[in-house]
Amino acid sequence: MSDIDDIAASIEHHVRRQHPPHHPPALRDAHPKHHGCVRATFVVADDVPAKLRHGVFAEPRQVYPCWVRFSNALKVRHDLAPDARGMAVKLMGVEGSKSRTQDWLMVSHHAFFARDATEFVDFPAVVSDVKFKMRAWLRIAWFFLNPRRGWPRLGGLVALFRSLKPTWNPVAMHYFSQTPYRLGPAQVMKYSVRPSEARPLGRRVGIWLRALAYLVVSNVGGMKQSHDMLREALIERLRQGAASFDFCVQVRDAPTGAEERQRIEDDAVAEWNEEEFPLVKVAEIRVLQLGEDFDAGAMMEFGQHLSFSPWHHVPEHEPVGSINLARKVVYERISDLRHELNRKVPREPLPHETPAEYLASIEVPS
């Protein structure tokens, strides 16, 4: 538990230093910049295999209202800068969950960059206050290659850099859970979402070239693309119509022995081979079209104050592994700290609550 406490204390110190009470708002330590938090529905497939019908997948065609938050993982900066991209989904009105919600948290690569909490413990201090210029990337690389930390952790370094993907729109990306979760009493799963959005080769090459140009120029003011290009692209796309993702799971038997558990549940860098553990579609996420009453300002403030955690869950989807155990402590402490600094009351949204209603309800009385 000491490693987890150290991680939480380090991040808490960083948030307090970066966001003193007289400089609101206090942002998340990870995924601080979001492009939008939009309404969606989570629709369970009608052909979920019997052995996968646990938790929120138990009832075919079950529909859950949800919110989807798209984000960048690192600092608040230009959307063409190298960054991991995130997608967080909050299902509401979920029976059996203490929070009445089920959260799915995903990032733009299938593997995390630290195997377990022990490997991760020093990383927050490495990236705090860095501006992600060349010296910063060398500093991060040294975190993985420093012989004083043991064998070079090339797998983690590769996973981190492979997650730094540019995109022209958040609804056109693949996202992955990275860490494993229970699926009923005898199975574990990883999950991911695949966009229905077209991803033509020319578009993919074009965004990589623009991202490379950003790195070469290294001057946001000299770029034609907006600092908030992903927010603008998301809003423009959803004004035209709905977008969707296939929600898929990879499933394997839950480990029984300690060594097997270490290998399967507590190694977040390890890949689950899709040939051996194929992706199975169990639901669809339908991101709704923006209506005429859409308020971008309320959407952005709403997404700022929501809290997402893998520990908002039903028992059948309990997170496993030390990375997830660390998240349980860290996410709760940092969420409480953010709400304290921002003078907001932390709570989960109700299924049919509007952003304006939610925001009004979390205000701390003067």
Contact present, 210 and 230 (Cβ < 8 Å): no
Q: Hey, what amino acid is at 122?
A: D
Nearest to 315 by CA among 9, 99, 116: 99
What SS3 class is residue 325?
Answer: helix
Cα 280 to Cα 317: distance, rounded to the nearest angstrom:
16
- CB of 307 closer than 8 Å to CB of 67: no
pLDDT string in tens for the chain (366-residue length) = 577 777 777 777 777 777 766 677 888 888 999 999 999 999 999 999 999 999 999 999 999 999 999 999 988 888 998 899 999 999 999 999 999 999 999 999 999 988 887 777 767 666 665 555 666 777 777 777 777 766 667 888 888 889 999 999 999 999 999 999 999 999 999 999 999 999 999 999 999 999 998 888 765 455 556 689 999 999 999 999 999 999 999 999 999 888 898 889 989 998 999 999 999 999 999 999 998 888 999 999 999 999 999 999 999 999 999 999 989 988 898 899 889 888 999 999 999 999 999 999 999 887
pLDDT at 9: 78
Task: Give the pLDDT confidence score for residue 127 in this predicted structure.
Answer: 63
Between CA 288 and CA 43 the distance in angstroms is 13
Would residue 150 be called left, alpha or beta, if left means φ above 0 and alpha means ψ between -120 and 50 degrees? left
| Residue 13, CB-side half-sphere exposure with 13 Å CA sphere | 10
Tokens 């997608």 -> residue: 87
Q: What is the pLDDT of residue 220?
A: 47
CB atoms within 10 A of CB 311: 17
Hey, what are 17's tokens?
């230093």
Residue 143: what pLDDT?
76
Residue 156: how many CA atoms within 13 Å on its side-chain side?
A: 20
Q: Dihedrals φ, ψ of 315, to 5°?
A: -55, -30
Q: What is the pTM of this model?
A: 0.91
Residue reference for tokens 């705090």 = 128
Whole-angstrom Cα Rg for the chain = 20
Burial of 281 (0-12, 13-18, 19+ CB in 10 A): middle
Q: Which helix (H) or strand (E) holds 331?
A: helix 322-341
Q: How many residues does the chain have?
A: 366
Number of H helices, E strands in the chain: 11, 9
Contact yes or no for 306/67 (Cβ under 8 A) = yes
Domains and CATH numbers, the chain: 2-128+162-361 (2.40.180.10)
The contacts of residue 7 (CB under 8 Å, 6+ apart) are 117, 120, 121, 124, 326, 329, 330
Asked if 71 contacts 85 with a C-beta cutoff of 8 angstroms, the reply is: yes
| Residue whose tokens read 């700290």 | 337
